[in-house]
């Protein structure tokens, strides 16, 4: 027998009755007229407004792609290298497209989309697996044109977790009447915590509580009493990268991530991505791997890259049998110091702002999940399926599957 609690977990509990009424009226209005009422002047303006078009990824040269976004908002996940490696590793390269504004040889905005398996033809914002990635865009007019392209794309699009103040979100919500349902949901926890580094971070003790520094130094002395304690800051070459990455994978597999299925040793597709991507990073001299070792055995590791004056942390792990000595936080302390000494201007932790990262910084990016469902059978079917999926996930207490990655590709939801 279905309990009262079980019956309450229907689609209305996911989006709320107001949202579902809006869906119904948007759908009914779309069947009568596919566009909202316009004056002759606004109708002409709308017809003449530029709209993003869908092209194969190969239509946009990589060096042109990477130059679209301003340098201040250019993360590795928005670069062509990340998108290409992800699409190949996850077997979705054939369904990968880019929505571009302007000439593909000189675009003003680029949004990479990969098509996921299924009849609904869902597409996901490639590169935004961990959330917080800004769309590569030259200016706000180009962003408006990109939003119009998404709304007219004809397929459901999951844009992942975007910055709450994203102009793409603003333009999607402003242009959706008669074309699509735009579903947003603010995240309770900010994403991508970061430290703005300067020379003073060469001594992290200046920035963290004294009790924390005292604890770190005491545990470091205890570890040194057990054997030869060392820190290794590595920039592997192409010939060295395989051994270094496999060593990092082995350290990550020692901890809790293996039990939840999100460790690279357990997730073969994610492991394939990182092996492909780290090889490419080594070729460009951007791969950076840190190990804390005791008598040659790794106690903790951090796998990341240095790009644009920023350290981007992708994977971390430590040996749980040494938990009492805090090897992870000890390694992090010295890694942050190392990055400051190298003259980097930012340390990006990635993932969500959890308790561990909050000990280092309170700076993070508020984010909102953003999905677009076109007013056609594909869009409505995807929307109903997503609502049902949320119900099932809530009923099972979240599920390990959801913890694997945000969208099944690339960066894990929480490092």
- CA dist 165 and 150 (Å) reads 18
In a shared domain, residues 217 and 293: yes
DSSP lists the bridge partners of residue 53 as: 100
In a shared domain, residues 133 and 232: no
- pLDDT value, residue 21: 53
In a shared domain, residues 200 and 154: no
**Residue 214, both tokens:** 């005292």
Average pLDDT over residues 299-303: 97
Position 79 in a domain: yes
In a shared domain, residues 36 and 83: yes
DSSP 268-329: HHHHHHHHHHHHHHHHHT-EEEEEEEETTEEEEEEEEEEETTEEEEEEEEE-GGGGGG-HHH
- pLDDT value, residue 295: 97
pTM: 0.82
Lowest mean pLDDT among 104-118, 257-271, 319-333: 257-271
- CA dist 14 and 52 (Å) reads 31
Position 98 in a domain: yes
Position 357 in a domain: no
CA torsion through residues 190, 196, 202, 203, sign? negative
Average pLDDT over residues 192-197: 95
Query: Confidence band (pLDDT; 50, 70, 90) for 11?
Result: very low
Closest CA to 182 of 293, 296, 415, 19: 19
Burial of 376 (0-12, 13-18, 19+ CB in 10 A): middle
- CA dist 56 and 99 (Å) reads 9
What domain range includes position 269? 194-348
CB 227 within 8 A of CB 271: no
In a shared domain, residues 33 and 161: yes
Average pLDDT over residues 291-300: 97
In a shared domain, residues 40 and 182: yes
In a shared domain, residues 205 and 254: yes
Position 413 in a domain: no
Query: Which of the pair, 351 or 396, is modelled with greater confidence?
Result: 351
In a shared domain, residues 371 and 330: no
Residue/partner pairs of 293-298 with CB below 8 Å, 24 or more apart = 293/228, 293/229, 293/230, 293/231, 293/232, 294/223, 294/226, 294/227, 294/228, 294/229, 294/230, 294/322, 295/227, 295/228, 296/228, 298/247, 298/250, 298/251
Closest CA to 301 of 310, 313, 311, 309: 313
Position 310 in a domain: yes
Q: Which tens digits make up the pLDDT trace of 47-82? A: 446 788 999 999 999 999 999 976 666 789 889 999
In a shared domain, residues 36 and 159: yes
Beta strand 229-234 with 53-56: parallel, antiparallel or unpaired?
unpaired
Query: Number of structural domains, the chain?
Result: 2
Query: Which residues have CB under 8 Å from 136's CB, separation 6+?
Result: 65, 68, 69, 74, 78, 109, 110, 111
SS3 readout for 337-378: HHHHHCCCCEEECCCECCHHHHCCCCCCECEEEEEEEECCHH
- CATH of residue 285's domain is 3.40.630
**Residue 127, both tokens:** 């590169």
Position 247 in a domain: yes
In a shared domain, residues 137 and 248: no
In a shared domain, residues 175 and 313: no
- CA dist 220 and 218 (Å) reads 5
- CA dist 197 and 339 (Å) reads 8
Provide the mean pLDDT of the chain: 83
- Residue with the two structure tokens 């340390």: 347
Q: Which tens digits make up the pLDDT trace of 382-403? A: 999 888 887 776 665 544 343 3
CB 325 within 8 A of CB 259: no
- CA dist 109 and 142 (Å) reads 6
CB 52 within 8 A of CB 99: yes
Radius of gyration of the chain from its Cα atoms, rounded to whole angstroms: 23
In a shared domain, residues 221 and 333: yes
Beta strand 96-101 with 229-234: parallel, antiparallel or unpaired?
unpaired
- pLDDT value, residue 130: 76
pLDDT at 222 over 60: yes
Position 212 in a domain: yes
Position 415 in a domain: no
Q: Which residues of 323-357 are buried (b: 16+ CB within 10 A; e: fewer)?
A: eebbbbbbbbbbbbbbbbeeebeebbbbbbbeebb
């Amino acid at each position: 027998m279905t309990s009262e609690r079980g019956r309450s977990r229907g689609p209305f509990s996911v989006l709320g009755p107001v949202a579902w009424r809006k869906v119904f009226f948007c759908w009914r209005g779309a069947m009568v007229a596919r566009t909202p009422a316009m004056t002759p002047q606004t109708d002409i303006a709308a017809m003449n407004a530029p709209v993003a078009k869908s092209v194969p990824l190969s239509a946009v040269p990589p060096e042109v792609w990477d130059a679209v976004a301003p340098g201040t908002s250019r993360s590795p996940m928005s670069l062509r290298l990340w998108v290409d490696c992800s699409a190949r590793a996850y077997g979705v390269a054939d369904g990968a497209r880019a929505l571009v504004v302007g000439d593909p040889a000189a675009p003003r905005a680029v949004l990479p989309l990969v098509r996921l398996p299924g009849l609904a033809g869902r597409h996901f914002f490639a590169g935004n697996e961990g959330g917080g990635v800004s769309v590569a865009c030259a200016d706000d007019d180009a962003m408006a044109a990109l939003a119009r392209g998404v709304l007219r794309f004809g397929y459901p699009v999951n844009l992942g977790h975007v910055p709450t103040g994203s102009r793409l979100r603003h333009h999607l919500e402003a242009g959706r009447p008669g074309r699509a349902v735009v579903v947003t949901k603010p995240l309770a926890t900010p994403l991508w915590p970061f430290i703005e580094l300067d020379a003073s971070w060469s001594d992290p003790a200046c920035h963290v509580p004294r009790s924390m520094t005292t604890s770190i130094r005491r545990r470091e002395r205890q570890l040194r009493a057990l054997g030869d304690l060392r820190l290794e800051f590595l920039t592997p070459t192409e010939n060295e990268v395989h051994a270094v990455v496999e060593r990092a994978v082995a350290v990550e597999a020692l901890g809790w991530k293996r039990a939840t299925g999100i460790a690279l040793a357990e997730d073969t597709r994610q492991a394939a991505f990182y092996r492909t991507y780290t090889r490419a990073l080594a070729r460009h001299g951007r791969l950076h791997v840190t190990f804390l070792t005791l008598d040659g055995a790794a106690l903790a590791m951090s796998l990341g890259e240095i790009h644009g004056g920023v350290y981007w942390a992708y994977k971390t792990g430590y040996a749980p049998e040494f938990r009492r000595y805090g090897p992870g936080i000890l390694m992090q302390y010295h890694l942050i110091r190392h990055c400051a000494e190298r003259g980097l201007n930012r340390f990006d932790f990635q993932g969500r702002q959890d308790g561990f990262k909050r000990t280092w910084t309170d700076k993070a990016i508020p984010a909102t999940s953003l999905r677009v469902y076109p007013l056609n059978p594909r869009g409505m079917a995807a929307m109903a399926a997503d609502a049902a999926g949320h119900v099932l996930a809530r009923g099972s207490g979240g599920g390990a599957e959801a913890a694997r990655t945000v969208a099944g590709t690339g960066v894990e939801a929480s490092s």
